[in-house]
Amino acid sequence: MTHGPLWRADVRLDRALAGAGPRRITEFLADLGTTRVALPVLAAAVTYALWRRLRAAPLAAVLAMGAVPLVVVPLKAWIDRPAPLDAALSGYFPSGHTATAAVAYGGAALLLRAGGHTRWPVPVAGVLTGITGIGLVLRGYHWPLDVVGSVCLGVLLLGPLWWIGRRSRRSPVRPR
């Protein structure tokens, strides 16, 4: 994460992207990963799932969101990756904002699917998470691999919710 060919490629890509795009838009995109934006989305989906009488899925979503800082903070301290704009700062891998976006928007999408909605919520969650990461890289707040690593982490944290949601959508076999 801090040396070798993958690091050098990450630095080259970051140098080409950081600072690109209109500041207002890239800042808005980066802010989609803040808890003040992402958590209300997840809270609304949890409320919807509880209203639909789903029990395990909302709990799994809340636990996945709670796991984000419990996993991200120790990883940042352990990996100790320098910041893109200031090498004196460290602890930038993985991106907490991207992990928050991935779990909050992904969790909301999986709850909507478990509640009977079509497949549209998952692609929307993917777009929201993706543009959050793009905003973070374009603003120079994170290296591209910080964002990729956090998306992977989000997928892992959402695994139990995905499994529970799949089970809740299956219709029971009815005897003839």
Q: Determine the average pLDDT of the residues in 56-79.
A: 90
In a domain, 10, yes or no: no
Segment 98-145, tens digit of pLDDT: 999 999 999 999 999 888 777 789 899 999 999 999 999 998 888 888
Low-confidence winner among 12-26, 29-43, 103-117 (lowest mean pLDDT)? 12-26
Other CB atoms within 10 Å distance of the CB of residue 123: 10
In a domain, 17, yes or no: no
In a domain, 163, yes or no: yes
Residue type for position 176: R
- As a whole number of Å, the end-to-end CA separation of the chain is 58
In a domain, 110, yes or no: yes
Range of the domain at 74: 30-169
More confident residue, 42 or 18: 42
Please count the structural domains in the chain: 1
Sign of the CA dihedral 124, 129, 130, 131?
positive
Q: Determine the average pLDDT of the residues in 7-14.
A: 77
- Give the CA distances from residue 29 to residues 22, 46, 56, 128, in Å, rounded to whole numbers and listed in that order: 11, 24, 31, 9
More confident residue, 148 or 13: 148
Structure tokens at 134: 């793009």
% of the chain surpassing 90 pLDDT:
45
What's the pLDDT score for residue 176?
45
In a domain, 100, yes or no: yes
- Give the CA distances from residue 99 to residues 20, 65, 66, 106, 118, in Å, rounded to whole numbers and listed in that order: 23, 9, 11, 10, 24
Length of the chain: 176
Asked whether 141 and 33 are in contact (CB, 8 A), the reply is no
Query: If you average pLDDT over every residue of the chain, what do you get?
Result: 85
What's the pLDDT score for residue 172?
44
